[in-house]
Amino acid sequence: MGTAMTIKPLIILPDPLLRQVSKPIERVDSDLQRLADDMLETMYDAPGIGLAAIQIGVPRRMLVIDVSREGEEKQPLVFINPEVVKSSDERSVYEEGCLSIPDYYAEVERPATIGVKYLDRDGKEQLIDADGLLATCLQHEIDHLNGVLFIDHISRLKREMVIKKFAKAAKAKAI
């Protein structure tokens, strides 16, 4: 039996950590692989289709994704130090949500296809061409590594309303 995976608490807006820029990962070792496994476990439990390390309070450039549908076999992907190396002029619009901004959804327009260079779970360099939901999810999670949230892509008015609502909820919880 391997070590048990741990579900980590998620960091929720308006936590300032979400605005932190994550640091590059110097080496891929068993600790990092354990973190990747914990992130996947946390993501599946939520449930979500993507999670950046910063969302569990770890400001390192790693994210996990699984865009397989319910009832399909799981297809967990681990991206270490991901970097968008190309993006299409063609755009697509998806309704996005975020585990750190629970129960809020908004349409976001992003490049329809992207190329991403990254290290996999074993530290091997990979290049992936992504389109559809995977492209959207990758861009959303890479944004997290740069302290950017999907609400930054919507109108200022809507964004301020969302932030206000979450700030109020956080205050109520603190009492």
SS3 145: helix
Q: Is 81 a domain residue?
A: yes
The reported pLDDT for the residue numbered 1 is 44
Q: What is the mean pLDDT of the chain?
A: 96
Task: Dump pLDDT digits (tens) for 153-173.
Answer: 999 999 999 999 999 999 998
Q: Give the CATH number for residue 62.
A: 3.90.45.10
| pLDDT of 36 over the 80 cut | yes
Q: Is 5 a domain residue?
A: no
Catalytic residue chosen out of the listed positions 26, 107, 141, 160:
141
| pLDDT of 174 over the 90 cut | no
Distances (CA, A) of 84 to 11, 107, 115, 135, 168: 25, 21, 6, 10, 35
Task: Dump pLDDT digits (tens) for 50-94.
Answer: 999 999 999 999 999 999 998 999 999 999 999 999 999 999 999
Q: Is 10 a domain residue?
A: no
Place of tokens 């349409």: 107
Q: Is 45 a domain residue?
A: yes
| pLDDT of 129 over the 70 cut | yes
**Predicted TM-score (pTM) above 0.75:** yes
What residues make up the domain containing 32? Answer: 16-174
Q: Is 7 a domain residue?
A: no
Task: Dump pLDDT digits (tens) for 130-150.
Answer: 999 999 999 999 999 999 999
Q: What is the mean pLDDT of residues 103-107?
A: 97
Type of residue at 141: E
With beta carbons less than 8 A apart as the criterion, state whether 113 and 71 touch. no
How many H helices and E strands in the chain?
A: 3, 7
**Is residue 61 packed enough to be buried (19+ CB in 10 Å), middle (13-18) or exposed (0-12)?**
buried
> In sequence order, what are the residues at sequence separation of 6 or more whose Cβ sits closer than 8 angstroms to the Cβ of residue 90?
111, 112, 113
Neighbours of 122 (CB within 10 A): 10
Per the structure, the count of domains in the chain is: 1
125 included as an active-site residue: no
pLDDT band at 3 (very low <50, low <70, confident <90, very high): low
